[in-house]
């Protein structure tokens, strides 16, 4: 069951984790985390608002720190580990990409809901013109996972633009291992590209999904410390690397330092008065995935459910019927307000 090719570990704690704390990761957390992660051998660290570059807003949630400041802090401390950003056209603009270039970002992950992947064209072209490393990201990838293999057409669009690294993002946490085996193998048969996987743990399968993706040909795996991320959390870095070392082959990552970071991370947030919650898949997360909803909705649904005195499972059910996708967070208020009025 082993493979000898290198695995690239991309740490999304300081970006996806922002969803779990209402985008309140501050300069002190970024500074301390980057100092620690740079000593572990992890390849890439992603920094920013939960929805990526330029996404700080009233409707989505305001960051407590600007993109420029957060990226400058991370860049000054990451000596061995590369720095990446997540950019969703519409939230981010070309001017935001210019800021990221000025701050010394190494990898630009350009993505959007997989059904709207053509909207990445202008940002990918800009990255090409500026000779920076750019990847394509199929967010909400389950929306194009069908009998017709629509996801292959989306990847062809990116490939034709010159993209040679694509991340399959399970934004809803809906995939199971067999799905990943099917997706990654089909992509590898058709395209000569690097493939990555970004998992969420709604069904409790994120670690095994990530192992299955690697064994099927994926080279890049997104992880976060203690699984810290949107909804039920991401692929748990400390668990994934332990399983990977036992089941596949021993990586060069310093596991002692990973365990120390996992142990100290909750205390790091608490010292900054950031309300850390251990990621765990509860019934609302399972229902959210079953409806194919964006994992980043969780904090908004929790907030408005309490505000309108609604049961959170009932709230997710109402939102699921509307089939919202990432970027439609502002509609959550309307749906739950109307649900309260009906009651």
Tokens of 322: 């509307």
Between CA 211 and CA 119 the distance in angstroms is: 31
**Known active-site residue 19:** yes
Between CA 77 and CA 7 the distance in angstroms is: 23
Task: Give the dihedral of Cα atoms 17, 21, 26, 31; nearest 10 deg.
Answer: -40
Q: What angle do CA 236, 220, 274 make, to 5 degrees?
A: 35
Between CA 29 and CA 12 the distance in angstroms is: 14
Candidates 19, 49, 86, 142; catalytic one: 19
Q: CA of 109: how far to CAs of 44, 84, 120, 157, 162, in Å? A: 12, 7, 10, 16, 14
Between CA 252 and CA 258 the distance in angstroms is: 12
- Are 30 and 47 in contact, with CB atoms under 8 Å apart? yes
Q: CA of 303: how far to CAs of 21, 163, 280, 300, 309, in Å? A: 12, 38, 18, 5, 10
| Residue linked to tokens 């009932």 | 314
Ramachandran sector of residue 170 (left: φ over 0; alpha: ψ -120 to 50; beta: rest): beta
Q: Which are the catalytic amino acids?
A: 19
């Amino acid at each position: 069951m082993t493979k000898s090719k290198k695995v690239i570990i991309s740490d999304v704690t300081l970006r996806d984790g922002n969803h779990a704390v209402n985008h309140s990761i501050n300069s002190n957390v970024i500074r301390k985390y980057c100092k620690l992660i740079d000593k572990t051998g992890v390849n890439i660290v992603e920094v920013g608002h939960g929805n990526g570059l330029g996404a700080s807003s009233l409707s989505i949630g305001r960051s407590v720190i600007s993109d420029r400041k957060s990226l400058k802090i991370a860049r000054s401390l990451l000596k061995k580990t590369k720095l990446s950003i997540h950019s969703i056209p519409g939230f981010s603009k070309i001017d935001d990409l210019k800021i990221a270039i000025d701050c010394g970002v190494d990898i630009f992950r350009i993505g959007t809901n997989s059904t709207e992947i053509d909207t990445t064209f202008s940002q990918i072209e800009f990255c090409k013109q500026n000779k920076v490393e750019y990847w394509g990201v199929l967010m909400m990838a389950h929306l194009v996972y069908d009998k017709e293999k629509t996801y292959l057409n989306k990847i062809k669009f990116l490939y034709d633009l010159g993209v040679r690294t694509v991340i399959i993002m399970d934004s809803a946490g809906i995939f199971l291992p067999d799905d990943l085996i099917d997706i990654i193998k089909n992509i590898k048969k058709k395209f000569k590209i690097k493939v990555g996987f970004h998992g969420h743990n709604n069904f409790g399968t994120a670690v095994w999904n990530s192992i299955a993706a690697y064994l099927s040909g994926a080279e890049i795996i997104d992880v976060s410390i203690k699984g810290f991320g949107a909804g039920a959390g991401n692929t748990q870095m400390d668990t994934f690397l332990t399983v990977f070392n036992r089941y596949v082959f021993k990586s060069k990552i310093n596991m002692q330092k990973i365990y120390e970071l996992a142990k100290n991370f909750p205390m790091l947030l608490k010292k900054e008065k950031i309300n850390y919650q251990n990621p765990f898949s509860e019934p609302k997360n399972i229902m959210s995935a079953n409806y194919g909803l964006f994992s980043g909705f969780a904090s908004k649904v929790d907030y408005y459910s309490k505000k309108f005195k609604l049961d959170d499972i009932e709230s997710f059910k109402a939102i699921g019927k509307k089939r919202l996708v990432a970027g439609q967070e502002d509609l959550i208020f309307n749906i739950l307000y109307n649900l309260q009025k009906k009651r």
